[in-house]
Amino acid sequence: MKFRKIAIIAWKHQSSELALALQKISEWALLHPEIEYIASESLKILCPPPIQVVSTENLSKVHLIIAIGGDGTMLSTARFALQNSTPILGVNVGRVGFLAETQVEDLQDTLDLLILGKFSTSTRLMLDIQVYSGEKKVFSEVVLNELHIRSSKPGKMVNLEVDYNKKHLTEYWADSLLISTPTGSTAYNLSANGPIIYPSTLAFVLTPLAPSSLSVRPLILPATAECEIRFASKGVGLSLVFDGNSSYELKPGERIVISKSQSVTTFIRVKSSAFVDALREKLGWTGKPKLKTEPFSK
């Protein structure tokens, strides 16, 4: 995999860390003129040469995208990269930054490893979300993190019927329902006490938020068949939120069909145990604290 043309995407325009990251890329690019760097017009003020500023339309035909920001930036970049299946290198200038492996201070070392071929790729499952009215498809979307089904009216609960593999699974009565990929399992799903799923697992999890029954728990299902979701009662409209960004208002009589997407998101990794490291370092999985022993004295 040769990276001869690299795009830079970022949304935190005024971040001092973003400016530092762009400066580090610029310094590295001056030493490697064989690689072309381009960035969107929104970064024009911050981009030092030889980084070129281009229109958004010209950012798509590249060999690699460097996404600088937090997990929200990574999700937006994944959506942008779909059209050409472009791999993504995440540089974390957010808070947790679970999807962005590289830190700003390590950026130039990471770029050195890339041109030496010392990296791996992590392919992430995505889900196709399709909405049908009868047999007619009226809307479709692809998600990397999750689909969030909630009431269109604040404070109202949702009542949903769920089929899996064309068999009735259950009926949910809850504040809302999350359908999360392994990538999304460490996002909203984790905050809702859902399980963490290893990134390469071909599965998704249904996590009801504040269900009316204490026996209802998150459920992990293999992503090998369709999951269908319908209104279980009338009177409350439903809002579908995709990766915390775009949304669709589900109309009465419409149904949601969820399945494994043919599209995937590819992340560049320079650490062999990036996910394990993230669990330990970013979620604080440090084990039981060691107690300092003091010599016994009277």
What mean pLDDT comes out for the span 113-124? 93
Q: What is the mean pLDDT of the chain?
A: 89
Q: How confident is the model at residue 54 (pLDDT cuts 50, 70, 90)?
A: very high
Span between the terminal Cα atoms of the chain, in Å: 68
Class level of CATH domain 5-119+270-281: alpha beta
| pTM for this model (two decimals) | 0.89
Does residue 71 carry a catalytic annotation? yes
What mean pLDDT comes out for the span 249-254? 92
| Structure letter (DSSP) for residue 86 | -
Q: How confident is the model at residue 24 (pLDDT cuts 50, 70, 90)?
A: very high
CA distances from 290 to 17, 147, 278, 295, 296 (A): 34, 40, 21, 16, 18
Residue-wise pLDDT tens digits, 170-179: 999 999 999 9
Please name the CATH architecture into which domain 126-263 falls: Sandwich (2.60)
Q: Where are the chain's structural domains?
A: 5-119+270-281, 126-263
Q: Does residue 97 have a pLDDT over 60? A: yes
Count of C-beta atoms within a 10 Å radius of residue 191: 11
**What is residue 108's three-state secondary structure?**
helix
pLDDT of the residue at 16: 87
Residues 6 or more apart in contact with residue 31 via CB below 8 angstroms = none
Q: Does residue 121 have a pLDDT over 80? A: yes
pLDDT of the residue at 282: 66
Q: How confident is the model at residue 77 (pLDDT cuts 50, 70, 90)?
A: very high
CA distance 253 to 231: 7
Residues 6 or more apart in contact with residue 23 via CB below 8 angstroms = 48
Q: Which structure tokens are listed for 250?
A: 């589900």
pLDDT of the residue at 298: 47
Pick the more confident residue, 83 or 188: 188
Q: Exactly one of 71, 109, 163, 175 is catalytic; name it.
A: 71
Residues 6 or more apart in contact with residue 139 via CB below 8 angstroms = 130, 131, 248
CA distances from 22 to 6, 84, 106, 146, 268 (A): 13, 24, 13, 30, 19
pLDDT of the residue at 27: 96
Q: Does residue 294 have a pLDDT over 60? A: no
At residue 238, φ and ψ (nearest 5 deg) are -120, 140
